[in-house]
Amino acid sequence: MPQNLLDLDLEGLTAWFTELGEKPFRARQVFHWIHQSGVADFAQMTDIAKSLREKLQQHAMVKAPSINYAHVSADGTRKWLFDVGPGGGAAHAEDDSGSSRDQVWRNGVETVFIPEDDRGTLCVSSQVGCALECTFCSTGRQGFNRNLSVAEIIGQLWVAHHSLKIEPNRTTGEMSDRPVTNVVMMGMGEPLANFENVVTALGIMLDDHAYGLSRRRVTVSTSGLVPAMDRLAERCPVALAVSLHAPNDALRDQIVPINRKYPLADLMAACRRYLVHAPRDFITFEYVMLAGVNDQPEHARQLIELTRDVPCKFNLIPFNPFPDSGYEKPRAEAMRVFRQILQDAGQVVTTRKTRGDDIDAACGQLAGKVADKSGRVMKRLHREAA
């Protein structure tokens, strides 16, 4: 099987070239061609010896996930559904007549690009589905299949970056060599549950020979996998966002089940440790507001007390409805009061704009297509039916 070069950071690519009997600088050349120029055809890498190009054609490939569809929202937000291959092979099933048939399931992950006047933010997925089962998240309700490979993670950026480079900016009408200025690992999946592949992909994003993004402009979001937060601080400290969503353990246990393993006291301690290494001097706490569940004034006051010793800012996110979620969007007045309480206590607070909801690209709406190996969907349906 040819080596997919999108799976390798520069160090890994250099080692692979050494095994081929090639000099290290050749790896840097190819790395530039792939990531900075978006070239997948070795024949087009014109400053590389023909003999090496022929060797690469025999032993390597540059293969990003294929695009099933791409949608553009009225506000300019883009969403791609990437095909990441068979999700579990052939599944045995019966049709209405009772006869068996084979169903070949495929998996898809979604990636969203959000253009703004001063930046372009790409929201990248790290897993096919998600195993954490946060109750308000459409992705979590789809179950879980597998982790994405490095090539499948960085391939989302590779496709978006190089396809957007050839399109004019919607606001200015100008072309840009760097349409993607920020990356947030906030798509499908829990990034820190796919630690090694995500860290390798982050290294490629940050590498000056590839995309050259700064650590401040790359954000990893986690629901609170405390040991992996500590590992990220040591290996690749980028900006950190924590999906908080509740100000006390009793409520968070219900809506973010990983809290039962890593409760809030442990999570806040991990946040303080992370800040020693972080490129920013604060943690961003993401807080999806659910009408009548976590949007009351007492919840805001509890948040102030919970985060008193953690330099932070809050990003309030109005819940984006999806079918059968069981939750409703908060009232505007409830959000205003909640925000004001936090601000009066000296907290920095932003309210996330709902972008791309007409193409189901808003926060919490990413679902993709998941062949659920975990069986979580069926277990949830049985629980709800009981």
For 344-368, what is each residue's pLDDT tens digit? 999 999 997 765 455 454 444 445 5
Q: Quick one: pLDDT band at residue 138, thresholds 50, 70, 90?
A: confident
Taking residues 108-117, report their average pLDDT. Answer: 90
Q: Which of 123, 137, 236, 363 is catalytic?
A: 363
pLDDT at 30: 98
Q: Quick one: pLDDT band at residue 93, thresholds 50, 70, 90?
A: very low
Task: Verify whether residue 22 is a known catalytic residue.
Answer: no
- Euclidean distance between CA atoms 150 and 6, whole angstroms: 7
101-to-84, 94, 95 alpha-carbon distances in Å:
23, 6, 7
Q: Quick one: pLDDT band at residue 96, thresholds 50, 70, 90?
A: very low
Residue 108 pLDDT exceeds 90: no
pLDDT at 373: 64
Q: Contact 38/158 with Cβ under 8 angstroms?
A: yes
- Euclidean distance between CA atoms 140 and 377, whole angstroms: 9
Q: Quick one: pLDDT band at residue 33, thresholds 50, 70, 90?
A: very high
- DSSP SS3 for 313: strand
Taking residues 103-111, report their average pLDDT. Answer: 69
pTM, to two decimals: 0.87
- Euclidean distance between CA atoms 277 and 341, whole angstroms: 30
Taking residues 147-162, report their average pLDDT. Answer: 96
Positive or negative torsion for Cα 330, 352, 198, 281: negative
- Euclidean distance between CA atoms 146 and 372, whole angstroms: 9
- Name the more confident of 233 and 176: 233
Domains of the chain with CATH codes: 3-61 (1.10.150.530), 66-385 (3.20.20.70)
- DSSP SS3 for 20: coil
Least confident of 133-137, 187-191, 349-353, 356-360: 356-360
50-to-33, 35, 56 alpha-carbon distances in Å:
15, 20, 10
Residue 370 pLDDT exceeds 50: yes
- Give percent of the chain above pLDDT 90: 71
Q: Which of 11, 22, 110, 137 is catalytic?
A: 110
pLDDT at 322: 81
Taking residues 106-126, report their average pLDDT. Answer: 90
- Name the more confident of 101 and 220: 220
Alpha helices by DSSP H, the chain: 10-19, 24-31, 50-59, 150-164, 195-206, 226-235, 249-255, 264-275, 297-306, 332-344, 376-385
Least confident of 74-78, 159-163, 221-225: 74-78
Residue 100 pLDDT exceeds 70: no
Q: Record the tokens describing residue 308, joined without a space.
A: 């008193």
- DSSP SS3 for 323: coil
For residue 134, report the phi and psi dihedrals to the nearest 5 degrees. Answer: -60, 130
- Euclidean distance between CA atoms 279 and 237, whole angstroms: 7
Taking residues 64-82, report their average pLDDT. Answer: 90
What DSSP string describes 152-221? HHHHHHHHHHHHHTTS--TTT----S-S--EEEE-SSS-GGGGHHHHHHHHHHHH-TTTT---GGGEEEE
